Amino acid sequence: MSKSALSQFLTVPAVVPVLDPGFRPAALATRSFHAAATVPVTLALEQADGSVFHHAFQVLDAAHPAAAANDFFVERLSKFLLWAWGGFRIHLAGPVALADSLRRHYSETAVGRFDSEIIGQRIYDRPIEVVFAKSVADLPAPRSNTAPLGRHWEGCRIGFDLGGSDRKVAAVIDGKCVFSEETVWDPYFQPDPQYHFDGVMDSLRKAAAHLPRVDGIGGSAAGVYVNNRVKVASLFRGVPRDLFESRVKDLFLELGRAWNGIPFDVVNDGEVTALAASMSLGCNSVLGIALGTSTAAGFVTAEGNITTWLNELAFNPVDYRHDAPPDEWSGDGGCGVQFFSQQAVGRLIPASELSISGSLPLPEQLKAVQAAMAAGDERAARIYRTLGTYLGYGLAHYADFYDFRNVLILGRVTSGPGGDLMLAGAREVLDREFPAISSRTAFHIPDEKDKRHGQAVAAASLPVIN
């Protein structure tokens, strides 16, 4: 695709990120594209349990001078749906050329093959498949499964939350947190799974020391987990594939056995983010976003349940410029992890002109920025204003796929006065560019302890204790 075909849809935002003027929000680009589009297309994503999710939109007529942009927008939309909703089979009702192009993307490009390997092979045990449908009537009918999550507080419980730069643990008695602790660790590139096992066990033992007994353990961790088995997780990216298969997949089952088989549940950190948000706010229709080493997100429906969606917004594109910052794992440009995480903070430091060495670990860079923010340094404030602008446009894009009424942000990046500045920036974007979304959306930010440890406490409520 020529850059000129795409460029006419890359709208300059009304609120320009102060440290990143080249940012071209996906929310604006898709709206500009769809305003010119007339040809209906429906994507249906099929999951292994039979769930099917539909998304209808329009593309440009083949005679349109910018019709070459169709492939780009269909691929970006497909990627968003895959990482947000999940699925191994993509049914496309629309022009057959779009189905052919999407099929080639997942088999012939590096970014497409990454998505097919991670989402298709590792999560659903089969490569991503693109199926052409002659009409919407030929698509599998929509079907979804939802389920309640957590909210069990009786007894003596431990909850843990595993991130890329720290692990958190909480001891809870009948719903009251009696102990919490945060421990720095470096799991991403550790080749020996014993490092992960020992780290989690260390935190669990510390929490257990503050309880008369342990009735159940619940965990939140980055990645995809099915029946406590690890399907794919960035925390274990440094583990060789053979060791992943032989040790990591059942690591949490092994930990459960080490605790004498008491109820032990581990779920995706995004789902626990949403659970923590819903419990903290006392409401539903919640999108929770945790800005930590990476980006975790989750969604609680209007009924208070979770879906079978993946909600891996770290990989979802929010910036459509051709030279958008790449994700270090997939190599794809414009993904959420580069805009809503410690990585985003580190990326913006040079532009802010703060004197913080890029050789420092990201958690240390963030601490330095937050110290500058607490001291009233305008350079640090510019980083948080930029993050807030990103967040506003990101939420506008998410609103096309998530029917949220409440948004809660938490995680290490949001600690301190910078978190409030971020929300103010996001609200400014929504007020100016997306007033309909702004009018129905309430922003929330937890207190400092909940920001840092809320997920660990919420995870403690996961197991059902008989």
What would the mean pLDDT of 245-272 be, rounded to a whole number? 93
pLDDT category at 326 given cuts 50, 70, 90 is very high
Show which of 213, 247, 271 is a domain's final residue: 271
**Average pLDDT value for residue range 21-33:** 98
pLDDT of 188: 86
The most distant pair of C-alpha atoms in the chain lies apart, rounded to whole Å, by: 72
Residue 451 has pLDDT above 70, yes or no: no
pLDDT at 223 exceeding the cut of 90: no
State which of 216, 239, 271 marks the end of a domain: 271
Residue 97 pLDDT grade (very low, low, confident, very high; cuts 50, 70, 90)? very high
Averaged pLDDT, 236-256: 94
Cα 218–Cα 224–Cα 230 angle in degrees, nearest 5? 75
Residue identified by tokens 């945060």 is 182
Ranges of H-type helices in 179-329 = 193-208, 241-243, 251-258, 269-281
Asked if pLDDT for residue 219 goes beyond 70, the answer is yes
Is 13 part of a structural domain of the chain? no
In a domain, 293, yes or no: yes
Do residue 335 and residue 382 come from a single domain? Answer: yes
Q: Note the pLDDT of residue 376.
A: 96
**Residue 46 pLDDT class (50, 70, 90 cuts):** very high
Look at residue 45 and tell me whether its pLDDT is greater than 70: yes
Confidence category of residue 236, pLDDT binned at 50, 70, 90? very high
Q: Are residues 134 and 153 in the same domain?
A: no
H-type alpha helices, 299-361: 342-352
Per-residue pLDDT for 293 more than 90?
no
Mean pLDDT of the chain: 93
Q: Greater confidence, 72 or 231?
A: 72
Flag whether 308 is in a domain. Answer: yes
Residue with the bigger pLDDT between 97 and 4: it is 97
**278 and 423 within one domain:** yes
427 sits in which H/E element = helix 417-433
407 vs 351: CA distance, rounded Å: 28
pTM metric for this prediction: 0.86
Q: Are residues 43 and 98 in the same domain?
A: yes
For residue 464, being part of any structural domain is answered with no
The pLDDT value given to residue 353: 97
In this structure, of 60-69, 83-92, 227-236, 424-433, the range with the lowest mean pLDDT score is 227-236
Min mean pLDDT across 163-177, 182-196, 334-348, 444-458 is at: 444-458
Domain boundary among 144, 161, 185: 144
Tokens of 240: 């060789």
Quickly state the pLDDT bin for 35 (edges 50, 70, 90): very high
102 and 121 both lie in a single domain: yes
The pLDDT of residue 222 is 81
pLDDT tens digits, 117-166? 999 998 998 999 999 999 999 999 999 877 788 899 999 999 999 988 88
* Residue 170 counted as domain residue: yes
In a domain, 55, yes or no: yes
Q: How confident is the model at residue 336 (pLDDT cuts 50, 70, 90)?
A: very high
The label of the residue with tokens 């796929």 reads 401
For residues 326 and 442, membership in a common domain is answered with yes
Of 383, 381, 365, nearest in space to 373 by CA: 381
Statement to judge: residues 131 and 41 lie in one domain: yes
pLDDT > 70 fraction of the chain, expressed in percent and rounded: 98
431 within some domain: yes
**Together in a domain, 231 and 367:** no
Residues 256 and 213 in one domain: yes
Which range among 168-182, 183-197, 284-298 shows the weakest confidence by mean pLDDT? 284-298
pLDDT at 2: 53
For residue 450, the model assigns a pLDDT of 59
Residues 163 and 310 in one domain: no
Q: Which two tokens stand for residue 91?
A: 């049914």
Averaged pLDDT for residues 356-370: 95
**Structural domain that includes position 201:** 147-271
Mean local confidence (pLDDT), 205-215: 98
With 90 as the cut, is the pLDDT of residue 307 above it?
Answer: no
Per-residue pLDDT at 449 exceeds 60: no
Note the pLDDT of residue 7: 92
Percent of the chain with pLDDT strictly greater than 90: 79
Residue 9 belongs to some domain of the structure: no
State the Cα–Cα distance between residues 379 and 38, nearest whole angstrom: 45
Q: How many CA atoms lie within 13 A of 423 on its CB side?
A: 18
Same domain? 90 vs 173: no
Q: Is the pLDDT of residue 217 over 80?
A: yes
Structural domain count of the chain: 3
d(CA 121, CA 209): 41
Q: What is the pLDDT of residue 448?
A: 58
CATH classification at residue 425: 3.30.420.40
119 and 152 both lie in a single domain: no
pLDDT value at 1 more than 60: no
Residue 298 clears pLDDT 70, i.e. is over it: yes
Residues 6+ apart with CB under 8 A from 267: 149, 218, 219, 220, 225, 459, 462
Q: Which residues pair with 278 in a beta bridge?
A: none
